[in-house]
Amino acid sequence: MKYTQNEKILQLNDQTLIIGVDVASETHYARAFDYRGIEVGKVIRFDNNALGFASLASWVRELRVKHQKQHVMVGMEPTGHYWFNLAQFLKDHNMQGVLVNPYHVNRSKELDDNNPTKNDRKDPKTIAMLVKDGRYIIAYTPEGIFSDLRTTMETRWAIVKQLNAIRNRMKRWISIYFPEFNTVFADWEGKAALVALKKFPLPAQVLEKGADNIVSCWREDKIRTVGMKRADKLIEAANTSIGIRSGMLAAENNLLTLIEDYEMKMLQYERTMAIVDRLVFQIPGTSEMLKIKGVGLVSIAGFIAEVGDISRFEHPKQIQKLAGLNLIENSSGKHKGMTTISKRGRSRLRAILYQSIMPLVSKNPEFMELHRYYTTRVQNPLKKKQSLILLCCKLIRLFYAILVKRIKYDPQKMLSDIRRPLLQKIA
């Protein structure tokens, strides 16, 4: 895969037809240019359906014959999910689809007419000119197991987000109507606590039920870990409750709705994680990754889902840039600005790496020692967050080596950043 701008420009020649497409939800606009930026066709409008795509293919075919072009490169902005179908169509019809950064389009739209106007006829030209100058990336859409894993992990993240919302609403409900419930049960998601919330959630219902009936309800659901002592404690909490006592009918309905949503989402989560588990172990190298202390299934699945086929990368620094963890500096003359990470790229990949590094720093001896070394070394000691970012890059290199080179995790190599043999023995 070509990555430098020079190599991208060299892919364009007098046999290349450059198409710029402004992608939208229903209607797309396209304009055609040669490799020097001379327009060779009038702007066309086509719908986001099979008939519209066919009209685009026919238009491109006529231009290729008329201007004797052999190669077609179609540039577009990755606008939400609207470009997915067009990218698939281009691939099926042997036309190379590439992506341009929407930020670049916004910044360069005034170069031709010194006018900040943005419209459907102007944007395709701006996109095509960026392609002409080599300012594009090769469109990548995961295929096979990588496509399945990315979609499944996206489903998981959506479910987790909804579960967190339900959990927050449950905590709010309990704090309003029965705040003392938390003194009886450490976690409302426990089996005994859920039975109590389903059958006698309000203090008045607890008092009406009585200790013997409460224990009977738990036994009916085959819960043996709690008994009369816990029931007495629940009744005592209900006796002194300061919870709201108005609107009980609506409150109980609200609670039952939340519990039903929670149980449904938990079933969906378990089903989704079973698919993730099945998919991950089909990828060579993942078993070795799981042997690293502190690395879990979700971290590995999330990393591979965002990166896709890792063999398409020539160096782990490309993944670092994809995650937005590459360093940037703002300096001029004698002024030297702060060095920070770019945060340009896949924000979810960056979040996965940061969430993965936290348990590693607390559980993995090698990462723990590296973190201590980076933050306490005599020359250029790092702040804790800077060290965590550096370790995220280290984790990328580690995952890359295991997945691409099929090597085993070596604790001694992990400590190679520390140039002291005594510390290397810790592994």
Residues forming a β-bridge with 71: 16
φ, ψ of residue 45 in degrees (nearest 5): -120, 130
What pTM was estimated for this model as a whole? 0.86
Q: Would you say 136 and 98 are in contact if contact means Cβ atoms under 8 Å apart? A: yes
Which residues fall within 8 angstroms of residue 261, CB to CB, at 6 or more apart? 162, 166
Q: Which residues of 238-247 are buried (b: 16+ CB within 10 A; e: fewer)?
A: beebebeeee
Residue in the structure block whose two tokens are 């201007």: 67
Query: Does pLDDT of 401 surpass 50?
Result: yes
pLDDT band per the 50, 70, 90 thresholds, residue 10: confident
As a whole number, mean pLDDT of residues 82-110 equals 89
Query: Does pLDDT of 427 surpass 50?
Result: no
Query: Does pLDDT of 65 surpass 90?
Result: yes
Q: Give the β-pairing of 137-138 and 96-99.
A: antiparallel
pLDDT band per the 50, 70, 90 thresholds, residue 327: confident
pLDDT in tens, 349-380: 999 999 999 999 999 999 999 999 999 988 88
Residue 343 carries which side chain, given as an amino acid letter?
K
Per DSSP, helices labelled H in 200-331 are 203-220, 228-239, 248-280, 286-290, 297-307, 316-322
Query: Does pLDDT of 424 surpass 50?
Result: no
**Strand (E) or helix (H) holding 174:** helix 145-177
Query: Does pLDDT of 164 surpass 90?
Result: yes
pLDDT value, residue 384: 94
pLDDT value, residue 421: 46
> Rounded distance, CA 200 to CA 210, Å?
10
pLDDT value, residue 42: 86
**Domain 148-277 classified CATH 2.60.40?**
no
CATH superfamily of 5-138: ATPase, nucleotide binding domain (3.30.420.40)
pLDDT in tens, 242-300: 999 999 999 999 999 999 999 999 999 999 999 999 999 999 999 999 999 999 999 99
Q: Would you say 120 and 155 are in contact if contact means Cβ atoms under 8 Å apart? A: no
pLDDT value, residue 138: 86
pLDDT in tens, 207-243: 999 999 999 999 999 998 899 999 999 999 999 999 9
pLDDT value, residue 343: 85
As a whole number, mean pLDDT of residues 146-151 equals 96
pLDDT band per the 50, 70, 90 thresholds, residue 336: confident
Of all residues in the chain, the percent with pLDDT exceeding 70 is 95
Residue 28: both structure tokens together: 């797309």
Query: Does pLDDT of 331 surpass 80?
Result: no
Query: Does pLDDT of 4 surpass 90?
Result: no
Of the two residues 345 and 285, the one the predictor is more confident about is: 285
pLDDT value, residue 156: 97
> Rounded distance, CA 407 to CA 400, Å?
10
Residue 353: both structure tokens together: 């790496």
* Domain extent listing, the chain: 5-138, 148-277, 286-424
Contacts 24+ apart (CB under 8 A), 175-178: 176/243, 176/244, 176/251, 177/201, 177/202, 177/203, 177/243, 177/244, 177/251, 177/255, 178/202, 178/203, 178/237, 178/238, 178/241, 178/243
> Rounded distance, CA 399 to CA 354, Å?
14
pLDDT band per the 50, 70, 90 thresholds, residue 419: low
Distance of CA 124 to the CA centre of its chain: 29
Of the two residues 331 and 93, the one the predictor is more confident about is: 93
> Rounded distance, CA 360 to CA 120, Å?
48
